[in-house]
A and B are shown apart, each in its own frame.
Chain A
Amino acid sequence: EAQVTQNPRYLITVTGKKLTVTCSQNMNHEYMSWYRQDPGLGLRQIYYSMNVEVTDKGDVPEGYKVSRKEKRNFPLILESPSPNQTSLYFCASSLSPNRVYGYTFGSGTRLTVV
């Protein structure tokens, strides 16, 4: 089944403890992106990747890192999480960023930083 898989689904962590949220897609998509969703603010893009080894900042990149060493994986790294990074996170992929109808989203990761 074509899908974007995020792990973990839920995570509670403490301030300053490094964590990684994994994202993997099995559709050979070139474009991948991370979003965070907060009440009243909607979905905001954190980082995106046009292809392997090509990544760039979105609207709210502060406090996050990403890497794209393989086409299928696009992990989101929080080096020193803070409470303002408590949010619902989504990974998305598409054959191309222009194929707006072709975005596939993961099921989400609900992160709480205490």
Chain B
Amino acid sequence: DADVTQTPRNRITKTGKRIMLECSQTKGHDRMYWYRQDPGLGLRLIYYSFDVKDINKGEISDGYSVSRQAQAKFSLSLESAIPNQTALYFCATSDLGSSTDTQYFGPGTRLTVL
């Protein structure tokens, strides 16, 4: 089955460390997204990419950077992690050729910054 995968699934790190979260997809979708989920705040968009050469900031991009290494891979980096970046991070994909904006989500990465 075509899928969206995220690594690692869980990560505990310390303030100031650099962290990279990775997302891979076998759906053949052009568009990829990174969200963070916080209790009471829902999902908020961090960055999104509509193809390999296209990177766009979302609602809360400060403190984050991304890299679209290939159509199937979209990585999220925290250059210097801080405790308020503790959250559940989701990657998602969608199909440029689709008539709707249905997004398909990965299983999430739980990040804890101490």
- A interacts with B: no
